[in-house]
Chain A
Amino acid sequence: DTGVSQNPRHKITKRGQNVTFRCDPISEHNRLYWYRQTLGQGPEFLTYFQNEAQLEKSRLLSDRFSAERPKGSFSTLEIQRTEQGDSAMYLCASSFSESGYQETQYFGPGTRLLVL
C-alpha cells in the first residue's frame, strides 16, 4: 500500500460550478477524515467517517458541501455552487481506530482547488 491518495491533485473551476474530489485511504484504515487548509493557515477539520458512517461534521461544512463513503473504503467530497471562498487545499487523512485505541492519522497529498 502506498498510502493515502487523492484525486485530482489540482482543480480550477468557475464560480457556481460543482466539483467532486476523491480520497482513497490506506486499505486497513477504518477512519477517514477531511480537512481544509487555506493559505497561511493550519488545516481545519471538516468531517470524518468510521467505516461508512459519517460521525461528525464541522460547522465549517455548509449545506453546499457533502461527503460520502458508501462502502467504507474511498470517500468523495462534493462542493456545489462553488464560491471564491472555497479556494483552498482539501486534505484527506485516514487512521485505524478500535475501542480505546487510537492510531495516528496519515495524510494524502491534497487537492488544491481554485475557484475563479
Chain B
Amino acid sequence: GEDVEQSLFLSVREGDSSVINCTYTDSSSTYLYWYKQEPGAGLQLLTYIFSNMDMKQDQRLTVLLNKKDKHLSLRIADTQTGDSAIYFCAESIFGGGDKLIFGTGTRLQVFP
C-alpha cells in the first residue's frame, strides 16, 4: 500500500541544523521529493532524490535515503527564520502516472 509518515512538529534554534524525517511504504517508488509550503501558499519544490541514490546535497540541503528501511530525511544546515514552514515529503509511484503520495507534513519552527 501507499503510506507516507512524518513527525508533526520540529522546533530548532536559528543557526542550528534541522533534520526532518519521513518513512514510506511503497517499494516501487521511483523518486522521493521534499516540498516546502508557507502559510496560504502552494508547494515549492526543494529537492528530490532518485530511488537508487543514497544521498544528495544541494547547498544547505542534504537528503539521505535508506531504501532498505524506507526512510528519507532532509537536513537543513544553518537554519534561518525564513525556513519556518511546513515540509512535505512525497513519493512518486512507478507506473502510477507519477502521481505524488504526500506525508502529512512537518511544521518547522525556527526561533532566534
Contacts and interface: CB of A to CB of B under 8 A. Distances in A.
- Verify that A and B bind, or say they do not: yes
B24 interface: no
B72 interface: no
Interface residues of B, number: 25
**Chain B binding surface, main DSSP class:** strand
B48 A43 contact: no
Contacts, number: 61
**Chain A binding surface, main DSSP class:** strand
Given A40-B104, A41-B104, A42-B105, A33 B42 contact: no
Interface string A38-56: 0011111100101000011
Contacts of A112: 40
A97 interface: yes
Of all A-B residue pairs in the complex, the 5 with the closest CB atoms, nearest first, are: A42-B102, A107-B43, A109-B42, A45-B99, A107-B42
Interface of B: 4, 30-31, 33, 35, 40-45, 48, 88, 90, 92, 96-105
